[in-house]
Amino acid sequence: MGLTVSEIRDNTTRARHLYQRTRQQHFAVGAFNIDNQETLIAVARAAQKLNSPVLIEVSEGEVKALGLENVRDLVDNYKKEYGIEAYLNLDHSPTVESCKRAIDAGYEFIHIDISQANHDASEEEIITKTREVVEYAKFTGALVESEPHYFGGSSNVHTEEIDYEEIKKTFSTPEGAGKFVEATGIDTFAAAIGNLHGKYPVPKELDLELLERIRSAIDCGISLHGGSGTPLHFFEDAARIGVSKININSDMRYVFRKTLEKVLADNPDEYAVVKLMPEVYQEVQAVVEEKIQAFGSASKAVL
């Protein structure tokens, strides 16, 4: 059942209050991707256990698999069942139209990522389409996130090394961040400081000095995508500096798959899938709990 406009606006107001708390109390809220109900259960249980606010997010492929409105209903149901502070984020949406649909469905956070569909999109095109989403979001109060260029990697397990000299070419700059935020009016700037989508054979390294300069250059929220495979101390420092949101996907997918493989091997004669899944979402929950502790969001929920 869909939310009323009044309910949506109440939720987005609470979401904005959460963002204010992240800045005032120096913690980051975790944004955790789901592509099945088991992962949603894992995130909800971790949030309940640690009394942490969470963002539950879906990207284009996950929306196609689960359904935009279905995810809204699932999150609302588990929010009530577990008594948690949780919000919905549309992650890396490649079109203005899909962003508008999510805003209408009551998603509190919207990430418009024009360069996702077209890596060579001009900054002018990105700004124009981002502004269109920002204007549309004013009706519900949804918070809009964007970035001025393509963000590398993919939410998967990679075997290649990270070419940091190549990655550095796409790093955000304080000047560029300031101009982009001013031109678009976004609520969240997706910074690139060494974070990279996916899980790699070597740990990621974040340029915290660059992050501090970006933080000084803009007033809006800052997000870090590609949080998987990052040593936890970087998250602790990023939250202290002023990052409000950190995205996690591949670490959860990896544990989900590896645990499921083990459970299937251990139970070759069990065909009731529901009996196989508890161990899987328990292990995914452990990953979410680890991130929540590093982000500093434990005990920060406001219900």
Nearest CA to 155 out of 263, 229, 51, 240 is that of: 229
Structure-token match 């000047």, residue found: 175
Residue 190 and residue 145 in contact, taking contact as beta carbons nearer than 8 Å:
yes
Residue 164: strand, helix, or coil = helix
Residue 97 and residue 129 in contact, taking contact as beta carbons nearer than 8 Å:
no
User: What are the structure tokens assigned to 33, written together?
Assistant: 């991707």
d(C-alpha 138, C-alpha 226), whole Å: 28
Residue 43 and residue 53 in contact, taking contact as beta carbons nearer than 8 Å:
no
Maximum C-alpha span of the chain: 60
Burial status of residue 138 (CB atoms within 10 A of its CB: 0-12, 13-18, 19 or more): exposed
The sign of the CA dihedral 163, 60, 133, 52 is negative
The catalytic site residues sit at 91
Burial status of residue 9 (CB atoms within 10 A of its CB: 0-12, 13-18, 19 or more): middle
d(C-alpha 63, C-alpha 60), whole Å: 5
Question: Angle at which helices 37-50 and 68-82 pack, to 10 degrees?
Answer: 30
